[in-house]
Amino acid sequence: MQAFLWNTLFETGIAEIDAQHQRLVELVNELGQRADGADQAHLDETLSALADYTVYHFQSEEAIMVAAGVSAEHANRHRETHRRFVAQVVDWITRRKRGEELSLQQLIEFLANWLVFHILGDDQSLGRQVLAIRSGADPQQAFAQDHSSEDPRTDILLGSLRRLYASLLSRNEELLAAQHNLSTLNATLEQRVSDRTAALQEANQRLQAEQARSLEAEKMASLGRMVAGFAHEVNTPVGIAVGAVSQGREVIRELGVCLSQEEVTEEDLRTRLDTLEDVSELALNNLRRTADLVHRFKRTAVDQTSEQMRAYELAEVVEDVMKSLRNEFKNTPIRFEVDCAGCQPLYGPAGTVAQLLVNLMQNSRLHAFAAGTVAGCIRIQARTGPDTVSICYADDGAGMVAETLAHVFEPFYTTARGQGGSGLGLYIAHNLVTQGLHGSIECHSTLGQGTRFDISFPLQTVAEEPAPA
């Protein structure tokens, strides 16, 4: 890009100054050419050369003014113009070296315009005065003669252009200062943002650490509640069994006393044997209940990932579960509606899915339908999407109040303790979904209308089944 076209209109009449002006024009044009694709090193080299030569040129002009004795009015104005120009160029180069994004095109336009106005104005005026002084004129006379000899129209035009350029120059200085202040402000703001970000990160780390401690404390508290609940649940049947065994020992002692007598009636023996049979059965039933509680409690701690992975059909799993619970539901007025249409063949822990459905069905029978004495319907709808398996399990039974719903997945929480409820069924169901299937389970219930469980877990199809090793 050629920014400045030199011609004889720009000559001052002083060969030394004209030659230097031409060199400045060459450097500005060279800068414009390098701006179109030169690398940083070449640009910096050209800028440095331009800055150095400009200082040299201004020194040469000022030396000529001193040697010729140019009037102080012109010399002072000329020097001030040089000073302001150099200050702007140096400021631009310095800021560019600091990494600020500045427009090279704007700098080139500034340099070209400045040279045009400066040469046509101050420099040509300087040339006329120096030539007049060399011809014998007094410096003040030369100054006055230069200004009086100008065409009034030209003088008005040049005066207007000088004032316009002076205004533009002053405005450019203001803009440069504002840009510098803005850069400083941005740097300060960036530092503040960086400091604030670091503070927020530190606060977030502290919060995460506190949350981890709180979570660990909650886990321990939950474990404590679970163990306490388990102990309470086990204590009742164990206490009954211990009482029954103690009573049995007393009956056996009485039998021994009877047998030691010479005469023992058959009625006495039968009475005590019947009592012994009753207490034995009572002890056995409660020990079985205890064993069931232990089994259920252990089930909550089983690592579900250890379960065998296999290909399975959801519809077949549902059917197998219903068959396994046939005896429990054979005398109940509860019907089943199953819809697994469109489900893909899956791969995963089919046993976990089966156990989940068993727990939900047993929960419905016990709580929703009063241990199978109330008529109702259980609906199971399953679908497979692009990424998830969705199961909607619903019954139209008794439903729950809000308080019960809030604790539905807590261990040992039950409203049917008198009917044999342990409070572990839905807790285990929750663990089966979240730990075994890595999914989620939500419960929705309305008193008198029924309960619904929305279950979702990641889809893994038969096509994704890993090849045998």
Question: Could you write out the DSSP letters of every residue in 324-386?
Answer: HTHHHHTTS-EEEEEE-TTPPPEEE-HHHHHHHHHHHHHHIIIIITTTTTS-EEEEEEEEE-S
Same domain, 107 and 138: yes
Return left, alpha or beta for 293; rule: phi > 0 is left, psi -120 to 50 is alpha, else beta. alpha
Query: Phi and psi of 339, rounded to 5°?
Result: -135, 105
201: tokens are 């990160």
- In tens digits, the chain (469 residues) has pLDDT values of 566 677 788 888 888 988 888 888 888 888 777 666 656 777 778 888 888 888 888 888 889 888 888 888 888 888 888 888 888 788 877 877 777 766 777 777 777 777 777 787 788 888 888 888 888 888 888 888 777 655 554 555 555 555 665 566 566 667 667 777 777 788 788 888 888 888 888 888 887 877 767 656 655 555 555 565 566 566 667 777 778 788 888 888 887 877 777 666 778 778 878 888 888 888 887 787 777 767 666 655 444 444 578 889 999 999 988 888 888 888 889 999 999 988 999 998 888 898 899 889 988 998 889 888 899 999 999 999 999 999 999 999 999 999 888 888 887 666 655 455 556 778 888 988 988 899 999 999 999 999 999 999 998 866 666 656 5
453 within domain boundaries: yes
Q: Are 325 and 449 found together in one domain?
A: yes
**How high is the pLDDT of residue 414?**
67
Compute the C-alpha angle 272/278/283, nearest 5°: 125
Q: Token match 């000022």: residue?
A: 62
**Are both 219 and 337 inside the same structural domain?**
no
Q: Which residues have CB under 8 Å from 25's CB, separation 6+?
A: 4, 6, 115
CATH number of the domain that 433 lies in? 3.30.565.10
Question: Which are the contacts of 145, defined by CB distance < 8 A and separation ≥ 6?
Answer: 132, 137
Q: Please tell me the predicted confidence (pLDDT) of residue 306.
A: 47
347, 439: one domain: yes
Three-state DSSP state, 408: coil
- Please give the pLDDT value at position 36: 62
- Indicate the number of domains in the chain: 3
Q: Are residues 293 and 329 in the same domain?
A: no
Residue 85 located in a structural domain = yes
What is d(CA 431, CA 434) in angstroms, rounded to the nearest whole number? 5
Q: What is the CATH number of the domain that holds 134?
A: 1.20.120.50
358 and 261, same domain (yes or no): no
Domain membership of residue 443 (yes or no) is yes
Domain check: are 122 and 261 in the same one?
A: no
Residues 81, 140, single domain; the answer is yes
Predicted model pTM: 0.41
Same domain, 272 and 335: no
Domain that holds residue 79: 8-149
In a domain? residue 35: yes
- Give the residue from 76, 412, 97 showing the smallest Cα distance to 225: 412
Q: Are residues 380 and 431 in the same domain?
A: yes
CA-to-CA distance for 441 and 359, rounded, in angstroms?
13
The angle subtended at Cα 154 by Cα 150 and Cα 157, nearest 5°, is 135
- Cα 374 to Cα 418: distance, rounded to the nearest angstrom: 17
